[in-house]
């Protein structure tokens, strides 16, 4: 049996950036360290750039996808670009600069290695970005407790966009699976398992689970059964 290739190639980065492959190799500062906030913002900035690159790759790799879906992918590129600039502005305001901290392109390497659009949308939007909804909500709560209106404003603007990204993926994955039939369903299940295995290899014990937010998930188009499945996964984690 041919061994599955879990990861694709890294996206291009210029000489300012040091790219690593695993969470443990990142600059992981303890709470209270003055570098923690700028490093977090730098990390998020690069992840937003990854999102632009992943959507752009899907536009290039699947030119025959329905026009309405291609418009959603293009809109997501625009949204993620605004997010990246917002993270950069706040990072620089708090003393950070581009390339100061290590970056990791795990999402791009996992998702662009998947062979069909329904699976990419499932992993990128319905999995990573859906979990991000709860992470952002937790970030908003923490920023409010810390009386940090700049972080609150940044997270609230991001949350509104990410909600739409998850919702449109929920709608289109169902349509693509209906069109593709059992073969598409099997390919999706295999791709999701592959992505989960790749994430475990990169993150190890560093994977962080946030409590599943029923209201956010429901607004993003998940059914009650899907919400319960997500909750079961976080409990296992």
Please, which pLDDT band fits residue 152 given cuts at 50, 70 and 90? Answer: very high
Q: What is the CATH number of the domain that holds 47?
A: 1.20.1260.10
Structurally, the chain folds into a number of domains equal to: 1
Give residue-wise pLDDT tens across range 62-73.
999 999 999 999
pTM above 0.75, yes or no: yes
Question: What pLDDT is attached to residue 2?
Answer: 41
Question: What pLDDT is attached to residue 1?
Answer: 35
Residue 12 forms part of a structural domain: no
Residue 83 forms part of a structural domain: yes
Residue 4 forms part of a structural domain: no
Give residue-wise pLDDT tens across range 3-18.
468 999 999 999 999 9
Residue 45: pLDDT above 70? yes
Residue 120 forms part of a structural domain: yes
Residue 49 forms part of a structural domain: yes
Give residue-wise pLDDT tens across range 101-144.
999 999 999 999 999 999 999 999 999 999 999 999 999 999 99
C-alpha dihedral sign at 34, 35, 39, 41: positive
Range of the domain at 82: 19-236
* Higher per-residue confidence, 225 vs 125: 125
Residue 7 forms part of a structural domain: no
Residue 5 forms part of a structural domain: no
């Amino acid at each position: 049996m041919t061994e599955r290739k879990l990861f694709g190639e890294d996206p291009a980065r210029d000489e300012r950036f040091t790219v690593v492959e695993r969470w443990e190799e990142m600059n992981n500062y303890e709470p209270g360290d003055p570098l923690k906030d700028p490093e977090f913002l730098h990390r998020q900035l690069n992840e937003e750039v990854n999102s632009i690159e992943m959507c752009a790759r899907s536009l290039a790799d699947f030119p025959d996808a329905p026009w309405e879906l291609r418009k959603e992918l293009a809109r997501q590129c625009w949204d993620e670009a605004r997010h990246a600039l917002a993270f950069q502005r706040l990072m620089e305001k708090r003393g950070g600069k581009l390339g100061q901290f290590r970056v990791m392109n795990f999402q791009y390497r996992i998702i662009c290695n998947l062979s069909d659009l329904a699976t990419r949308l499932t992993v990128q939007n319905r999995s990573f970005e859906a979990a991000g909804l709860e992470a952002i909500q937790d970030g908003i709560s923490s920023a409010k407790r810390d009386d940090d209106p700049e972080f609150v404003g940044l997270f609230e603007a991001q949350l509104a966009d990410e909600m739409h990204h998850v919702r449109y993926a929920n709608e289109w994955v169902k349509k693509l699976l209906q069109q593709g039939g059992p073969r598409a369903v099997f390919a999706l299940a295999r791709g999701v398992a592959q992505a989960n295995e790749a994430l475990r290899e990169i993150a190890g014990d560093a994977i962080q689970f946030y409590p599943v937010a029923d209201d956010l998930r429901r607004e993003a188009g998940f059914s009650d059964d899907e919400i319960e499945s997500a909750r079961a996964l976080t409990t296992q984690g």
